[in-house]
Chains A and B, each alone.
Chain A
Amino acid sequence: MRRSPGVNLALAIGLAFLAIIALLPFWWVISSSIKATNEIVSTTPTMVPHSFTLEHFAKLLTSSDYPRFLLNSLAVSAASMAVTVVLAVLSGYAFFRLRFAGRDFLYRAILLAYAFPAIVVLVPLYGMMSAVRLIDNLFALVVINVTFAVPFAIWMMRAFLAAVPLEIEEAARLDGASRLTILRRIIVPLIAPGIASVGIFAFISSWTEYLFASVLIQSDANKTIPVGLAGIIGQYQVDWGLMLAGATITTLPVVVLFFFIGRYFVAGLTAGAIK
Chain B
Amino acid sequence: MVAVTLRGLRKRFGAAEVIKGVDLEFAAGEFSVIVGPSGCGKSTLLRMIAGLEEVDEGEVRIGERDVTDADPKDRGVAMVFQNYALYPHMSVRQNLSFALEMARRPKADIDAKVCAVADALHIGELLDRKPSQLSGGQRQRVALGRAIVRDVGVFLFDEPLSNLDAALRVAMRAELARLHRELRCTIVYVTHDQVEAMTLADRIVVLQAGNVMQVGAPLQLYHRPANAFVAGFIGSPRMNFIPVEVASVGPDGATVSGPELPPTLAPTRVDGLAPGDKATLGVRPEHLNLPTEGATAIEGVVELVERLGRETGVRVRTASGLALDAIVDGAATVAAGERLAVGFRPDACHLFNAEGRALERRFAPQIVDAPPRPDVHPLAASATIASRSEQ
Contacts and interface: CB of A to CB of B under 8 A. Distances in A.
Given A170-B52, A171-B79, A171-B81, A176 B103 contact: yes
Interface string B73-95: 10001110111011111000000
A161 to B, nearest CB: 15
A186 interface: yes
A267 interface: no
Contacts of A172: 87, 98
B102 A177 contact: yes
Nearest to B82: A167
Contacts of B249: none
A167 B87 contact: no
Interface string A163-201: 001011011111111000100011001100000000000
B102 A176 contact: yes
Contact of B73 (A168, A176, A185, A186): A176
A34 B73 CA distance: 65
Nearest to A190: B89
Nearest to A186: B87
Contacts of B99: 174-176
Interface residues of A, number: 16
A168 B102 contact: no
Contacts of A189: 89
B72 interface: yes
A182 B103 CA distance: 14
A254 B98 CA distance: 38
Given A173-B72, A174-B79, A167 B85 contact: yes
A168 B85 CA distance: 5
Interface of B is mostly: loop
Contact of B146 (A165, A171, A186): A171
Interface residues of B, number: 22
A189 B79 CA distance: 23
A172 B82 CA distance: 15
Given A165-B83, A167-B83, A174 B89 contact: no
B371 to A, nearest CB: 28
Nearest to B147: A174
B50 interface: yes
Interface of A: 165, 167-168, 170-177, 181, 185-186, 189-190
Q: Considering the complex of A and B, which 3 residue pairs feature the smallest CB-CB distances, nearest first?
A: A176-B102, A175-B99, A167-B85
Given A167-B85, A170-B85, A190-B88, 20 more contacts: A165-B83, A165-B85, A167-B82, A167-B83, A168-B86, A168-B88, A170-B50, A170-B52, A170-B79, A170-B81, A171-B86, A173-B52, A173-B72, A174-B73, A174-B99, A175-B150, A176-B73, A177-B102, A185-B98, A186-B87
25 contacts: A165-B83, A167-B85, A168-B86, A170-B52, A170-B72, A171-B85, A171-B87, A172-B87, A173-B72, A174-B50, A174-B52, A174-B72, A174-B73, A174-B77, A175-B73, A175-B99, A175-B146, A176-B99, A176-B102, A177-B73, A177-B102, A181-B102, A185-B98, A189-B89, A190-B88
